[in-house]
């Protein structure tokens, strides 16, 4: 198979493509140039083959629909591996396979798997081309769906190749659908080779290799050696009445409303004060210390890959505006008029349609066990350009990024964690991130109410031993002169009846207001054993139907409950053995002492 060498003189790149094509054996190789014309051609081709369905172009201009295979609707963490020479490098937080075994296993599946197919070459940049933050990747794939998604999610095409030049560094990203067989599926990361091999899947997080694979797993590994952070965080700017914008990066485990927070519309009383939210990103933050001594961040992505069920004009108006055009819809209900719908979306429940599996659907339909059949898969998604979001920050593609004043960690706890607290200092803040946890909800497997720890929301995404990752956080913090203040929030505290006490959604800005006022030294706080909390008077409750005993409950720190929590933290930490930085053990001991003494 000849590789068109008119495109680039990058010898290493050409050789790699040649080698991969030799293994996968495609009928032809096509370079993705990033042009509108090529994009439209590919769309047309995919519509002809049925890989995509064209949606109603009057109501949803530029939108297409895609269904994944039935057993291919989410990331498959048990098939995701970090392949380093030594197992200890990957740590207890990752599945590990030796590079030799991994390359061998995957090669057997890749062999001749692109026969009768085209191999697309996608040059992409995570972050604006030429920004000091950015990283270049080349993804080879046999899926037009992947090409079209990557065109939304990253900077793609000739401009990236040009930037790469004859010898630029790039991450090798190989993806093949093969047979879409879960028994022949592997998502492999080779951080020491700067390479990713993904085979047997067609689902977003497994195949859009610039996203979790490069921007978190590989990038976290790079950041460790290069002195920066690749984090699973949204980035927003909060503009206040003085038109000052304060930037926040926030990490939450899944199902905590990260995308909703990223696009928040202020409640009336705060809008009146002049507040406005600017969306920089909803999923990933790359952060580095600059010469001014501050921590600066970019969102390396140019698109959103968001969950649809539960998204509607009330929960996320800006998302609904964003996805009106040029959007790829995956695994939702297809209505008879070729528009789309999902559970808890806008509008009436359609009387009929075709469900995400391709079967005729109507409301109330049940499976053989009497369980209601959903029209949309619970993990159905939209892919849409950030630029279409009404709250998109004017700085989304600024190569300098934005300066971060606050880092916020969050969890889903029915009790224990108060609505918000501030860490005493950077080291205590790293401790706070390291003990992040959520209670398992009905939507997940496992015992309901059981606590699942997810440090910095990075458990599935940290490309190396998490104990070393904690050390990296502690160490890098020392290089930041203007350290961001670190907070923890919990929107999910419940009352005795199990009802959420805090209204959440747009009212979360009331908590962010306290956070940015803390950063700008405009408001006080009460010291507790776990950190600083606001006093009631410090949170703007204007227009909110909530009484003061509820607020007391939301801000309560129960020492006995927390002492129980410290036991669970000890147990969690024990998996890291001697690798755990002593600073974290010391923070744990200090917490126990404060809880006992107060
Ligand atoms: O991993 S995905 O990118 O598919 C979505 C997510 O889990 O955030
Ligand atoms: Mn995510």
Q: Is 43 close to ligand 1, i.e. is its CB under 6 Å away?
A: no
Provide the pLDDT for residue 448.
Answer: 65
Q: Tell me, in angstroms, the distance from the centre of ligand 2 to residue 283's CA.
A: 5
What proportion of the chain, given as a percentage, has pLDDT over 90?
95
The upper half-sphere exposure of residue 434, i.e. CA atoms within 13 Å in the direction of its Cβ, equals 31
Residues 381 and 364 in one domain: yes
Residues 212 and 276 in one domain: no
Distance CA 354, CA 340 (A): 10
Strand pairing class (234-239; 245-251): antiparallel
Q: Is the pLDDT of residue 284 over 80?
A: yes
Q: H or E element: which one contains 385?
A: strand 381-385
CATH of residue 262's domain is 3.90.228.20
Provide the pLDDT for residue 441.
Answer: 65
Pocket test for ligand 1, best of 79, 204, 215, 308 (most atoms within 8 A of CB): 204
Q: Is the pLDDT of residue 446 over 70?
A: no
Residues 151 and 6 in one domain: yes
Indicate the number of domains in the chain: 3
Pocket test for ligand 1, best of 205, 282, 284, 330 (most atoms within 8 A of CB): 205
Residue 62 lies in a domain: no
Query: Which band of pLDDT confidence, cut at 50, 70 and 90, is reported for residue 5?
Result: confident
Residues 148 and 243 in one domain: no
Nearest to 286 by CA among 238, 246, 234, 208: 234
Average pLDDT over residues 238-263: 95
Of 191, 226, 261, the domain-final residue: 226
Provide the pLDDT for residue 107.
Answer: 98
Of 327, 358, 387, the domain-final residue: 387
Could you read off the pLDDT of 33-84 as tens digits, one per residue? 999 999 999 999 999 999 999 999 999 999 999 999 999 999 999 999 999 9
Residue 52 lies in a domain: no
State the closest ligand 1 atom to the C-alpha of 204, by its place in the atom list counted from 1: 4
Residues 266 and 279 in one domain: yes
Distance CA 216, CA 229 (A): 9
Residues 332 and 186 in one domain: no
Just list the catalytic residues: 256
Residue 55 lies in a domain: no
Provide the pLDDT for residue 450.
Answer: 85
Question: Measuring from atom 6 of ligand 1, which residue has the nearest CA?
Answer: 205
Query: Which band of pLDDT confidence, cut at 50, 70 and 90, is reported for residue 439?
Result: confident
Could you read off the pLDDT of 480-505 as tens digits, one per residue? 999 999 999 999 999 989 899 999 99
Q: Is the pLDDT of residue 438 over 70?
A: yes
Of 196, 226, 256, the domain-final residue: 226
Q: Is 53 exposed, middle or buried (0-12, 13-18, 19+ CB in 10 A)?
A: middle
Q: Is 288 close to ligand 1, i.e. is its CB under 6 Å away?
A: no
Could you read off the pLDDT of 116-153 as tens digits, one per residue? 999 999 999 999 998 999 999 999 999 999 999 999 99
Q: Is 211 close to ligand 1, i.e. is its CB under 6 Å away?
A: yes
Residue 371 lies in a domain: yes
Question: Measuring from atom 3 of ligand 1, which residue has the nearest CA?
Answer: 205
Cβ distance 191 to 218 under 8 Å? yes
Q: Is the pLDDT of residue 413 over 80?
A: yes
Strand pairing class (80-82; 186-190): parallel
Provide the pLDDT for residue 511.
Answer: 98
Residues 381 and 462 in one domain: no
Residue 70 lies in a domain: no
Task: State the residue range of the domain holding 133.
Answer: 2-31+76-226
**And the tokens for 555?**
């801000």
Query: Which band of pLDDT confidence, cut at 50, 70 and 90, is reported for residue 449?
Result: confident
Residues 556 and 581 in one domain: yes
Residues 546 and 466 in one domain: yes
The upper half-sphere exposure of residue 46, i.e. CA atoms within 13 Å in the direction of its Cβ, equals 26
Mean pLDDT, all residues of the chain: 96
Provide the pLDDT for residue 447.
Answer: 62
What proportion of the chain, given as a percentage, has pLDDT over 70?
99
Could you read off the pLDDT of 290-336 as tens digits, one per residue? 999 999 999 999 999 999 999 999 999 999 999 999 999 999 999 99
CATH of residue 377's domain is 2.170.8.10
Residues 239 and 206 in one domain: no
Distance CA 98, CA 574 (A): 25
Residue 235 lies in a domain: yes
Residues 290 and 184 in one domain: no
Q: Please report the DSSP string for 104-125 in residue order.
A: HHHHHHHTTTTTTSEEEEEEEE
Residue 532 lies in a domain: yes
Could you read off the pLDDT of 567-595 as tens digits, one per residue? 999 999 999 999 999 999 999 999 999 99
Whether the predicted model's global pTM rises above the 0.95 cut = yes
Provide the pLDDT for residue 254.
Answer: 83
Average pLDDT over residues 430-443: 86
Residues 368 and 418 in one domain: no
Strand partners, 488: 409, 421
Nearest ligand for residue 258 CA: 2
Q: Is the pLDDT of residue 442 over 80?
A: no
Provide the pLDDT for residue 26.
Answer: 98
Provide the pLDDT for residue 131.
Answer: 96
């Amino acid at each position: 198979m000849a590789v068109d060498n008119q495109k680039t003189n990058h010898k290493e790149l050409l050789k790699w493509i040649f080698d991969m094509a030799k293994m996968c054996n495609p009928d032809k190789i096509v370079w993705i140039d990033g042009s509108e014309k090529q994009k439209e051609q590919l769309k047309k081709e995919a519509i002809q083959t049925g890989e995509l369905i064209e949606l109603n172009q009057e109501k949803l201009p530029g939108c297409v629909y895609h269904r994944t295979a039935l057993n291919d609707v989410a990331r498959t963490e048990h098939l995701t591996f970090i392949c380093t020479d030594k197992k200890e490098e990957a740590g207890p937080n990752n599945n590990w396979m030796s590079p030799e075994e991994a390359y061998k296993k995957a090669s057997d599946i890749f062999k001749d798997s692109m026969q009768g197919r085209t191999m697309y070459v996608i040059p992409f940049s995570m972050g604006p081309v030429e920004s000091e933050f950015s990283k270049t990747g080349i993804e080879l794939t046999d899926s037009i769906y992947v090409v079209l998604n990557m065109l939304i999610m990253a900077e793609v095409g000739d401009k990236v190749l040009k930037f790469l030049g004859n010898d630029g560094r790039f991450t090798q990203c190989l993806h093949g659908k093969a047979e879409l067989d879960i028994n022949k599926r592997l998502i492999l990361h080779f951080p020491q080779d700067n390479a990713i091999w993904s085979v047997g899947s067609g689902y977003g997080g497994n195949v859009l290799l610039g996203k979790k694979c490069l921007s978190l797993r590989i990038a976290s590994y790079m950041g460790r050696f290069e002195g920066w952070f690749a984090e699973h965080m949204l980035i927003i700017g909060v503009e206040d009445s003085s038109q000052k914008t304060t930037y926040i990066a926030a990490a939450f485990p899944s199902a905590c409303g990260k995308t909703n927070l990223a696009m928040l519309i202020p409640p009336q009383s705060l809008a009146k004060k002049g507040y406005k939210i600017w969306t920089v990103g909803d999923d990933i933050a790359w952060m580095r210390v600059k010469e001014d001594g501050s921590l600066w961040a970019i969102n390396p992505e140019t698109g959103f890959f968001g969950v649809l069920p539960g998204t509607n004009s009330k929960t996320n108006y800006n998302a609904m505006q964003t996805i009106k055009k040029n959007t790829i819809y995956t695994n939702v209900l297809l209505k008879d008029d070729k528009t789309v719908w999902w559970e808890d979306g806008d509008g009436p429940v359609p009387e009929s349609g075709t469900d995400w599996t391709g079967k005729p659907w109507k409301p109330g339909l049940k499976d053989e066990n009497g369980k209601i059949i959903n029209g949309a898969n619970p993990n159905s998604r939209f892919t849409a350009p950030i630029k279409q979001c009404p709250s998109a920050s004017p700085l989304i593609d600024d190569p300098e990024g934005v300066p971060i004043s606050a880092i916020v960690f969050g969890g889903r706890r029915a009790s224990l964690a108060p609505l918000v607290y501030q860490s005493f200092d950077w080291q205590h803040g790293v401790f706070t991130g390291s003990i992040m946890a959520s209670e398992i909800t009905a939507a997940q497997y496992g015992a309901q109410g059981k606590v699942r720890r997810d440090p910095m929301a990075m458990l599935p995404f940290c490309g190396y031993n998490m104990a070393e990752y904690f050390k990296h956080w502690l160490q890098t913090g020392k290089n930041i002169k203007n350290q961001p203040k670190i907070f923890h929030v919990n929107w999910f505290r419940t009352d005795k009846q199990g009802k959420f006490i805090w209204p959440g959604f747009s009212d979360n800005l009331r908590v962010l207001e306290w956070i940015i006022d803390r950063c700008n030294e405009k408001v006080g706080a009460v010291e507790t054993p776990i950190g600083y909390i606001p006093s009631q008077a410090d949170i703007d409750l204007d227009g909110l139907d909530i009484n003061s005993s509820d607020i007391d409950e939301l801000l309560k720190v129960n020492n006995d409950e927390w002492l129980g929590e410290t036991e669970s933290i000890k147990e969690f930490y024990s998996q890291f053995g001697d690798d755990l930085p002593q600073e974290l053990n010391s923070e744990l001991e200090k917490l126990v002492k404060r809880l006992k003494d107060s």
